[in-house]
Amino acid sequence: MKGSMRKMLCMGLTALSMGVMMPGAVSAEKAAITMPQKMANGETVEVYYRKGLPLTAARARAAELKRETMVLKAGSIRREGSKPLTCDILFEKDVPVTLRDGTVIYTDIFRPVDDKQHPAIMAWSPYGKEIGGQWLDDVPGRAGVPQAATSGLEKFEAPDPAYWVAQGYVIINPDSRGAYHSEGNLNYWGSQNSKDGYDTIEWAAKQPWSNGKIGMSGNSWLTVSQWFIAGEQPPHLAAIAPWEGFVDHFRETANRGGIPNPVFPEGIFETFASKNYIEDQPRMVVTHTLLDAYWQDKIAKLQNIHIPAYVVASFTNPVHTHGTFAGFRQIPSKDKWLRVHNTNEWADYYLPEHVEDLRKFFDHYLKGVANDWEKTPRVRLSVLDPGHKDVVDRVEQEFPLARTQYKKLYLTSQKTLAGAKEAQEQIISYDTQAKQPAVNFVLTFDKDTELTGYMNLHTYVEADGSDDMELQVTVQKLDKDGKVITDPVTHMPTFSEGYLRVSQRALDTHKSTPAEPVLKHTREDLLKKGEIVPVDIGIWPMGMKYHAGEKLQLTIAAYQPPKADSVPPFGIAKIAVPAKGYTFRPGEKTAMKTLGGGHTEVAHPELAVKAPATRNKGKHIIHVGGKYDSYLLVPVVPEK
């Protein structure tokens, strides 16, 4: 990079203690820089970059760069305890792909051992195309995915080559730009990453083993990549299978409700390995707190997606729930399907019956198999019922459900939710510095009721002692005794949330509906002393069954930043794989190497971005009754 193309970042102790770096001074190691970057709208933005893990870090679990081709034999295994291969696989390691700007990235390719042409499925991410910095073994209980469920050839969150090659597919596992040995700087989605995915798909379609039809699969980051890359309309991308992933990075994860949250991005950043620089998105979160050109570039072009899509969502993912439903609803494809599960993204993705279901989808659109896939119900819905039995795969025609009846539950001074508002104006308040700075409102159901869809809290608020408020709103189910019901698998409560920095309360009236407020995020309107303002706080979609006597609890609380340990300890698991040859026969004595390191192994801990202090001070006052039309709008679903 030329000197004119970057500014060094100040390493002062004050800036570091705030978790924010200021441009101007030079780091001795040049561990952090800014670079001008052109966004999709043509505007140039100075984007922060910094160094991530070196490839030598144990936590990175990096593979050496070595181009080679080998046949992985049927019956061999990648790891002790993993599923044996059911067929021979031609494995091409570190195949170079040259992108339109001359940058070379590297991809692994798994394909049938023949000279025929096959469809391919690409899994796009920077996590490492072999083991890499994130792996299911890092997650408690492997998130319910037995090691024997897959071969271990898969990259994290991606399709298992052992299964798909046996079904006549090619699996393409790239390390995206800047990841591991791939050239360039590592980017988070956006226009650059999308174009790189486009180029790789078009490269793959020209290979002699390709039938010209490429699909995409995988969950989380790999799903977000699908929304973005498909939005660029690569001619040979024939179908996608987004399995839980957001579409609007600002609104759905980084600055949800306008509140900067760098904790999750920072935890993920610390698992990335690169020879070059990595986009310092955690720092962009805390320095670009409005929906500017940078964040506009992080919104997928859903309006451009006309190809078939098999979309999988859940109601319980704190990062992906809203975006997955939004993606399904907003893409104009006439061939789209939605399945809503009741477990977690990883367990659902690798469940054998769901793998078979996905194969039927890809067989139809990538192979042209007449298998009646198009007769699959357009929506298969789960409805959660903690304490009882969930509804799974209920056939519906659309989402949200057309038969939904929206009902207003009014907030009362008695801290209940009622069918009518109080005649007199009342106030409810809490001290933001209290041990539990929150207020609960409860409704007891007099009959069995299903609430499935979007919720909106419309209320009037006032700040006593501050010019802003940061609110966290939660809706959850309680049993007949008013106790939280935990999930029998995760032992965690099931709930849906909404967030708001009140200064960013302005609505985009063209996109908002009564049940789904959409915020502009283009300005801040700070509060004046004694000012009472109406706010709409969208609560992510939920499908929940309440039985007579059970309760719905609405909690309005002062926002508390999440703790750093909310991100799994990625990179810590020790993974033993063959030192040479990639797979081996079960029971065979072979030289092994162990990959994995310490969770605390961070490239530059002094540059870690911490959650900024909240704007909450003094008291939060909620106005109800009389002229204050404060209510929770809920989606009541009558039985068919």
Instruction: Give the separation between CA 496 and CA 540, rounded to whole angstroms.
Output: 6
Q: What is the pLDDT of residue 369?
A: 98
Q: What is the pLDDT of residue 356?
A: 98
Q: List, for residues 176-221, the tens digit of each pLDDT value.
A: 999 999 999 999 999 999 999 999 999 999 999 999 999 999 999 9
Q: What is the pLDDT of residue 489?
A: 65
Place of tokens 């929304």: 227
Which of 267-271, 420-424, 563-567 has the lowest average pLDDT? 563-567
DSSP-derived letter for residue 269 is H
Those residues whose C-beta lies under 8 Å from the C-beta of residue 402, and which sit 6 or more positions away, are none
Instruction: Give the separation between CA 283 and CA 278, rounded to whole angstroms.
Output: 12
- One DSSP character per residue, 428-470 reads EEEETTSSS-EEEEEEE-SS-EEEEEEEEEEEEEEEES-S--E
Residues found in the chain: 640
Please give the structure tokens belonging to residue 212: 């010209």
Q: List, for residues 254-298, the tens digit of each pLDDT value.
A: 999 999 999 999 999 999 999 999 999 999 999 999 999 999 999
Q: Which residues pair with 306 in a beta bridge?
A: none
* pLDDT at residue 6 greater than cutoff 70: no
In the chain, the domains with their CATH numbers are 3-50 (no CATH), 58-376 (3.40.50.1820), 405-562+614-636 (2.60.120.260)
Q: What is the pLDDT of residue 597?
A: 79
Kindly indicate the confidence band of residue 94, based on its pLDDT and cuts at 50, 70 and 90: very high
* pLDDT at residue 20 greater than cutoff 70: no
Average pLDDT score, the chain = 93
Kindly indicate the confidence band of residue 15, based on its pLDDT and cuts at 50, 70 and 90: very low
Going from the C-alpha of 68 to that of each of 74, 602, 620, the distances in angstroms are: 19, 31, 63
Q: What is the pLDDT of residue 25?
A: 32
Kindly indicate the confidence band of residue 127, based on its pLDDT and cuts at 50, 70 and 90: very high
Largest CA distance in the chain: 80
Which of 340-354, 520-534, 589-603 has the lowest average pLDDT? 589-603
- The helix (run of H) or strand (run of E) holding residue 347 is helix 345-350
DSSP-derived letter for residue 136 is G
Instruction: Give the separation between CA 40 and CA 34, rounded to whole angstroms.
Output: 18
Mean pLDDT of 335-358: 97
- The helix (run of H) or strand (run of E) holding residue 396 is strand 391-396
* pLDDT at residue 12 greater than cutoff 70: no
Kindly indicate the confidence band of residue 544, based on its pLDDT and cuts at 50, 70 and 90: very high
Contact 147, 129 (CB under 8 A): no
| Distance, first Cα to last Cα, the chain | 62
Instruction: Give the separation between CA 396 and CA 555, rounded to whole angstroms.
Output: 31
CB atoms within 10 A of CB 88: 17
Q: What is the pLDDT of residue 567?
A: 84
Mean pLDDT of 90-109: 98
Instruction: Give the separation between CA 597 and CA 138, rounded to whole angstroms.
Output: 11
* pLDDT at residue 10 greater than cutoff 50: no
